[in-house]
């Protein structure tokens, strides 16, 4: 709206400029922002935690705009796909050593120097690109950070033929994630494993917790973050899973129609995230219905035998595994009894984003990135200043 139109409308109808600013913001929200050079912002204002403790409930400070509207659908919006190259350095195809017919796929931005590696596992039916936008936000705040976002078997571009794609047992997925981390280290010829922060959304939260509890990655793991999944509410939600799947469209006429459905249904409340992640959820197949050739890549209904196994015992493992613990939720009503008690005892850090949906990291990538970077910094062992050894003090002629 031009300045002349603003002035005319304001004079005639006594409409404030704030109203026009809000309308213009809706148009601007759907424009893909340029990704600036990464900035390692170590100021306290960039941190979501106001406490020096690595546990406790974290309440974001006002300057983080906790109640700001998530980016959403705007009039005149574009629904064009945003390529993965906008967010990651490279994609990897990694052949499984245990199952040579399985070829893992992942997206990688390598850590710089002694920077951490955020290893990210998506939820059921999603893909590694679910973490694309939050990955770029992490890099803005921690320029040395690396991000490894994997495609689980049966999802994304990971190739697991036949029944292999449907082997969705928790121990299989946990072993897959361990293998992908090791294969990535070998592929990139890293001399040693970087410090790792495991991050998992929904099903992915169960996978990273299981891997952390197993200890297979050793002391490389600084901590693990679980996004919007707890044992009690997850198992309760399984009862309505078939209803949800039956109400989803079987397919879409175009890729853009699939993106738009995710935004309008508020499955994903951020159009930039939807334009990035949704294309990987669909595959073109006009054999079943030529009018809706874009079909779901993953048959979630076929994974039903494994649903309960993903989440049973999750709370106990989450509280018992070694390393820092962070739980991000869209609502405190999701907490079960065991986690509520654990929170009262200060066993993990909790942050709640009530304005987000289930896909917290896609709805609010900036706030999620702030939480994850701050979580790493609170658990970064390289930042610890240890007292000098007694033997060193004696060599220096000092009395002890």
Cβ atoms 342, 319 nearer than 8 A: yes
Transcribe 91-117 into DSSP letters.
EEEEE-SS-TT-EEEEEEE---TT--E
3-class secondary-structure state, position 120 = strand
Residue ranges with strand state E in 259-341:
282-284, 294-296, 324-329
Distance CA 83, CA 231 (A): 34
Contacts from 99-103 at CB under 8 Å and sequence distance 24+? Answer: 99/160, 99/164, 101/160, 101/161, 101/164, 102/153, 102/158, 102/159, 102/160, 102/161, 102/164, 103/158, 103/159, 103/160
The question of whether 361 is a catalytic residue gets the answer no
Q: How far is CA 132 from the centre of its chain?
A: 8
Residue 220 near residue 193 (C-beta atoms within 8 A): yes
Q: Has 202 been annotated as catalytic?
A: yes
Active site residue 228: yes
Which of 150, 162, 134 has its CA nearest to residue 370?
134
Q: Decide: helix, strand or coil at residue 356.
A: coil
In angstroms, the CA 57 to CA 227 distance is: 15
- Phi/psi region, residue 246 (left: phi>0; alpha: psi -120 to 50; beta: rest), is alpha
Q: CA-CA-CA-CA torsion for 126, 132, 135, 140, nearest 10 degrees?
A: -150
As a whole number of Å, the CA-based R_g of the chain is: 23
Residue from 228, 262, 361, 363 carrying the catalytic annotation: 228
Q: Is 63 helix (H, G, I), strand (E, B) or coil?
A: helix
- Catalytic-role residue among 157, 174, 202, 315: 202
Alpha helices in 78-229 (DSSP H): 132-141, 170-187, 203-214
- CA pair distance 256, 347, nearest whole angstrom: 44
Catalytic residue among 201, 262, 358, 361: 358
Residues marked active site are found at 202, 228, 358
């Amino acid at each position: 709206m031009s300045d002349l139109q603003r002035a005319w409308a304001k004079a005639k109808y006594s409409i404030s400029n704030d109203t026009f600013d809000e309308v213009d913001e809706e148009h601007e929200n759907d424009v893909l922002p340029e990704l600036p050079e990464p900035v390692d912002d170590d100021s306290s204002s960039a941190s979501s935690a106001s406490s020096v403790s690595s546990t406790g409930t974290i309440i974001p400070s006002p300057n983080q705009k906790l109640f700001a509207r998530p980016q959403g659908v705007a009039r005149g919006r574009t629904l064009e796909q945003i390529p993965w190259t906008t967010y990651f350095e490279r994609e990897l195809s990694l052949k499984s050593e245990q199952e040579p017919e399985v070829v893992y796929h992942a997206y990688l931005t390598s850590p710089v120097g002694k920077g951490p590696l955020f290893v990210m596992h998506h939820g059921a039916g999603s893909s590694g690109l679910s973490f694309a936008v939050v990955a770029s936000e992490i890099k803005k705040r921690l320029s040395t950070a690396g991000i490894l976002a994997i495609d689980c078997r049966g999802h994304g571009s990971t190739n697991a033929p036949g029944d292999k794609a449907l082997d969705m047992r928790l121990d299989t997925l946990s072993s897959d994630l361990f293998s992908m981390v090791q294969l990535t280290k070998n592929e990139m010829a890293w001399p040693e494993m970087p410090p790792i922060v495991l991050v998992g959304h929904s099903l992915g939260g169960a996978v990273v917790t299981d891997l952390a509890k197993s200890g297979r990655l050793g002391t490389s793991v600084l901590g693990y973050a679980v996004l919007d999944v707890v044992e009690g509410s997850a198992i309760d939600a399984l009862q309505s899973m078939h209803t949800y799947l039956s109400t989803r469209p079987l397919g879409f006429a175009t890729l853009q129609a699939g993106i738009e459905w995710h935004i309008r249904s508020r499955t994903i409340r951020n159009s930039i995230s939807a334009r990035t992640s949704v294309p990987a959820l669909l595959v073109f197949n006009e054999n079943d219905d030529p009018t809706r050739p874009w079909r779901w890549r993953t048959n979630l209904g076929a994974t039903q035998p494994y649903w309960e196994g993903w989440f049973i015992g999750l709370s106990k493992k989450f509280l018992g595994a070694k390393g820092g613990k962070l739980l991000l939720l869209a609502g405190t009503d999701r907490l079960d009894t065991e986690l509520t008690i654990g929170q009262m005892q200060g066993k993990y850090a909790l942050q709640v984003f009530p304005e987000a949906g289930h896909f917290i990291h896609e709805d609010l990538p900036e706030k999620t990135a702030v939480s994850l970077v701050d979580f790493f910094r609170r658990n970064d062992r390289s930042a610890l200043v240890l007292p000098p050894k007694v033997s060193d003090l004696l060599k220096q002629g000092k009395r002890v």
